Amino acid sequence: MKTYIVGNWKLNFTVGEASIYLHKLLKRLPNYRDVEVVVAPPSVALQPLSLQIDRHKMKLAAQNAFYRDYGAFTGETSFTQLHGLVDYCIIGHSERRYIFGEDDKMVAKKVAAAVRNKITPILCIGETESERTFGETADVIRDQLLSGLSEIGAEDVSKVLVAYEPVWAISSAKGAKLASPDEIAEVVKLVREILKEVYGGETAEKTAVLFGGSVNPSNAGAYLTVPGVNGLLVGGSGLILSQFADIIETAKRVRS
């Protein structure tokens, strides 16, 4: 299985800045066969960057899309419109859930729309600090995971990348803390146990699980060696060329 390094640029970079960053990153990176590098720029930059990107070196992801293919939905972009521009889409990120009010039903519809349009969903799941404090982590993870996959067939589950992003460990969160490898391992093991229980051992083994939460060059190696972790979803460090390149290089070393 490949190792995935996904850089989520969130609401940063103009189109021109995004183009310059991508140009520099492409020049710096060789073609890593075993490491899939993915960048998720703001939606306004997706089309121009799709013409600029070298897809042998990296792929593009959307940060969000709407689950209906077409219609009277002012301001939205559909997965159908993204088909051919991106290979991945981040779905269910905690900022979408808690700032924009997206619930599990909407997340499930987006996962299904992505699969329907041959775009790989990156399904984000994770508990808040209070949920962890009150011992609700396992219930939250089970609910978000199974709800997120509920609108697709069992044969498509392994096409989804599952990203465990504890809300309390995301760098943009107030009072964010670093997740320990043991804490991550516990949840990743749980994710695979749930997948095995519901969809079978083969699906559980084939489904890639990523970790995201204040990932930087100093902790990327430790996170990538957590049993069952197949990659990283990177936030702030993904905006700094040298740091993102270091994380990618770390993934290559760990993979080797």
Distance CA 225, CA 223 (A): 5
Per-residue confidence (pLDDT) for residue 18, from 0 to 100: 98
Structure tokens at 45: 């930059």
Q: List Cβ<8 Å contacts ≥24 apart for 189-193.
A: 189/227, 189/228, 190/138, 190/141, 190/142, 191/125, 191/141, 191/145, 191/162, 191/164, 191/228, 192/228
Which residue in 23, 73, 13, 67 sits closest to 43, CA to CA? 13
Report the alpha-carbon distance of residue 126 to residue 209 in Å, rounded. 12
The residues that are catalytic are 93, 165
Confirm if 163 and 211 have CB atoms less than 8 A apart.
yes
pLDDT of residue 171: 62
Q: What is the pLDDT of residue 174?
A: 56
Please report the pLDDT score of residue 32 as a whole number: 85
pLDDT averaged per 10 residues, the chain (length 256): 96 98 95 93 97 95 97 97 97 95 97 98 96 95 98 97 92 70 96 98 97 95 96 97 97 88
The residues, ordered by sequence, that sit 6+ positions from 171 with a Cβ below 8 Å of its Cβ are 213, 214, 235, 236
What is the reported pLDDT for 123? 98
- Which pLDDT score is estimated for 175? 57
State both tokens at 164.
């465990």
With CA atoms as reference, report the closest residue to 179 among 144, 141, 222.
222
**pLDDT of res. 173:** 53
What is the pTM (predicted TM-score) of this model?
Answer: 0.96
Map tokens 């709407």 to a residue.
Answer: 66
Q: Give the pLDDT score at 230.
A: 98
